Amino acid sequence: MSSHSESHYPHDMWVFPDAQSTTQDVARKTASTPGILKLGLAIAGVLAILGVVGFVLRMTSDGFSDYGAWGYYAAIFSYIFVITSSAPLVAVAFRLTKSHWRRPISRISELFALVGVVNVILYIPLIYLLPPINNPNFVPGMHGELQIRKTIWMEVPFGAPHLWDFLGIISLAVLSLIILWVSVVPDLAEARSSANGWRSKLYTLLAGHWYGTKKQWIHQKISLALLGALYFMMVVFVHFLIVSDFAMSLIPGWKDSILPPLYTVTGFQSALSIILIIAFTMRKWGGYEKYFGTSVFWSASKIQIGLTLLWTYHLFAFFITLWYGRMELEQNILRYLMFESYSWIFWLNVIFIFLIPFWILVWNPVRKTAWGPALAGIFILVGNLLFQIRIFVGAFNAGDIYHLGLFRVPPPVFPDVWDVFIVLGGIGLVAFIYLIGTRILPALSVWEVKEGAMYQKMGTLYRGEYLVLAKPE
């Protein structure tokens, strides 16, 4: 029977890693740093230093009083924040839906929690940059001036928005670190005896309590589920806070209820993309092809194309509502952000986030490969950066925020050398910290992959060989 049966999957769709060798293999890969990784670290480090240089020079040349010069800083902060805070969601969300394809990539996504700490640090200058809610120049009776700029904080409760946004970012960073820790403990426990040097000490410190008893496993599962759900809701909430306070309320007259969902979708899309790019890299050059079948990419790419379409849908809803109403102040918002000042960056934005990835991902054979989603992901990441620049540089340079609306359309602000350094530095910083993180913690979630291997096998049905997937409750 088996001689007639044929698997009709592509040969690398499903993988069945052997439990024994997985632990040692992954531990070995974590401990060793091949040359190309060292090169990557070096480049990222150099970019990060460039970024610090740019930041310092910007600080000395403009100070913190004029926030208009810091538009690009806010854009790169937002870019880093939205991607690194959404990245753990890939692990969280698909654990909740019990999707098996998330197993190899869940640690990749959780490792972004380490970068989340950087969010907190990068946020601190923004606290100084955010203008107060009360208008210091308010003159009663002056036309077009508001006493309180438009903001989501109703009666300006204590510390809003600086304190609450900061608390939000800290809590996200802490929560994601806790999720990472809860998830990584079984792997560290397994590796603590075989690791040497500082790794052994670190692993014992982090995972010394773990013995793999049934109770501990159940505890871990419930914690991940609850923390994950909490994290999901917190991420969406903090995204709403950041984009409302740092973008929407700084463009006078911009009242847009779809911007927080649009921003969140952008984050999910880019987070999934960067995870797929890392997964592709690990699979192709990192020697992890035993653990990543192309089924991961095939399932994730459906989510990716769905998010791409969702992004376009939200953007269109924003456009059509404002455009149809023909109200002058709203039309000025459209002119500013889409069609006049930032028009070329807007069209590039649409092409990179929607047109190109859609036409890559719409083909089923491309979705079944590993390079397809990764290639689409690169375009999505560039497009997202353009999106953040458009929104945040636009917001920071929109003129007087205490007016009823944009009475005239401000000109676009182009980056100068320090802005370019800052943007590159941000990207370099993320890459640097992430790569260091992969040296400390295993980049593959060994316990999850082993669990997945337990649940799957190839079975014969009639004349074909198919994957049999166990579905425990």
Partner 1 sequence: MVSNRIDHKWGMVVDIDKCTGCQACVIACQAENNIPLNTKDTFLQKRVNEWIRIERYWEGEYPNVKARYIPVLCQHCDNAPCEPVCPMYATYHNDQGLNVQVYNRCVGTRYCINNCPYQVRFFNYWHPGWPERLENQLNPDVTVRSRGITEKCTFCVQRLRRAELKVERQSGSRLNDEALEKGNYAPACVHACPTSALTFGDQHDDGAKIRSYFDDVNAHNIHHEHERETRGYRLMEEVNTRPNVIYLKKVDQYPLGKGDGHV
Partner 2 sequence: MQEGRVLPAEQVNRDLLRSILETPKWFWPVVGILGLIVLIAAIIIGYMINRGLGITGLNRPIFWGFFITNFVFWIGISHAGVMLSAILRLAKAEWRRPATRAAEVLTIFSLMTAMIMPIIHTGRPWRILYWAFPYDFARGIWPNVRTPLIWDPSAILTYLTSSTLFVLIALIPDFAVLRDRTTGISHRIYGLLAMGWEGNARQWKLQIIAGVLLSALILPVFVSVHSIVSWDFGMAVAAKSWHSTIFAPYFVVGAVHSGVSAVAFVLILLRWMYGWQDYIRHEHIDGLGRLLVVVATGWFYFFVMEVIFGIYGREADEIAVRSLQFIQEPFQAWTIIFIVTTYFIPVALWLTRRARRNLWIMSLACISVNVGMWLERYLIIVPGLANRTAFTFSWNSYVPSAYEAIIVGATFAFVSMLLLLFSRVFPLIPLYDIKEGDILKNESVKIGRRVVPAVFRED
Is residue 468 a contact point for partner 2 (CB under 8 A)?
yes
Instruction: Give min distance, CB of 411 to partner 2, in A.
Output: 25
> Whole-angstrom Cα distance, residue 201 to residue 150?
52
**What is Dmax (Cα atoms) for the chain?**
89
Where does this chain touch partner 2 (CB under 8 A) — which range of 147-155, 186-194, 197-205, 438-446?
147-155
Nearest to 95, CA basis, from 224, 186, 278 = 224
Continuous H helices in 63-161:
71-96, 106-110, 112-129
**3-state SS track over 287-315:** CCCCCCCHHHHHHHHHHHHHHHHHHHHHH
Instruction: Give min distance, CB of 150 to partner 1, in A.
Output: 14
- Choose the contact partner of 214 out of partner 1, partner 2, none; CB within 5 to 8 A by kind: none
List 320, 328, 359, 416, residue binding partner 2 (CB under 8 A): 320
Cα 450 to its chain centre, rounded Å, is 26
Is residue 261 a contact point for partner 2 (CB under 8 A)?
yes
Is residue 407 a contact point for partner 1 (CB under 8 A)?
yes
Bond from prior residue into 136 cis (ω within 30 degrees of 0): no
With b for 16 or more beta-carbon neighbours within 10 A and e for fewer, the 213-228 pattern comes to: eeeeeeebeeebeebb
Residues 223-252 that bind partner 2 (CB under 8 A): 233, 236, 240, 244
The nearer residue to partner 2, 324 or 414, going by C-beta atoms, is: 324
The nearer residue to partner 2, 292 or 421, going by C-beta atoms, is: 292
Residue 266 CB partners (closer than 8 Å, separation 6+): 82, 311, 353, 384, 387
Instruction: Give min distance, CB of 320 to partner 1, in A.
Output: 12
Tokens matching residue 114: 């380490």
How buried is residue 99: exposed, middle or buried, by Cβ count under 10 Å (0-12/13-18/19+)? middle
- Judge whether 272 and 307 are in contact, CB under 8 Å: yes
Residues in contact with partner 1, shown as a per-residue x/- string from 48 to 87 under the rule CB under 8 A = ----------------------------------------
- Choose the contact partner of 473 out of partner 1, partner 2, none; CB within 5 to 8 A by kind: partner 2
Q: First and final CA of the chain: distance in angstroms?
A: 32
> Whole-angstrom Cα distance, residue 150 to residue 422?
29
Residues in contact with partner 1, shown as a per-residue x/- string from 314 to 353 under the rule CB under 8 A = ----------xxxxxx-x----------------------
Is residue 462 a contact point for partner 1 (CB under 8 A)?
no
Residues in contact with partner 1, shown as a per-residue x/- string from 133 to 152 under the rule CB under 8 A = --------x-xx--------
List 35, 136, 140, 472, residue binding partner 2 (CB under 8 A): 472
Residue 241 identity (one-letter amino acid): L
Tell me the CA distances in angstroms from 22 to 272, 282, 386, 397, one per residue in order: 25, 15, 40, 52
The nearer residue to partner 1, 217 or 323, going by C-beta atoms, is: 323
Where does this chain touch partner 2 (CB under 8 A) — which range of 109-117, 164-172, 205-213, 319-327?
319-327
Is residue 160 a contact point for partner 2 (CB under 8 A)?
no
> Whole-angstrom Cα distance, residue 210 to residue 185?
7
Cα 263 to its chain centre, rounded Å, is 11
Is residue 164 a contact point for partner 2 (CB under 8 A)?
no
Instruction: Give min distance, CB of 140 to partner 1, in A.
Output: 10
Within 13 A of 190's CA, how many CA atoms are on the CB side? 22
Residue 13 identity (one-letter amino acid): M
Is residue 454 a contact point for partner 2 (CB under 8 A)?
yes
List 120, 148, 177, 178, residue binding partner 2 (CB under 8 A): 148
Binding site for partner 1 (CB under 8 A): 141, 143-144, 324-329, 331, 404, 407
Q: Which residues of this protein are in contact with partner 2, per CB under 8 A?
A: 148, 150-152, 154, 233, 236, 240, 244, 253, 255-261, 302, 309, 313-314, 317-318, 320-322, 324-327, 454-457, 459, 461, 466-473
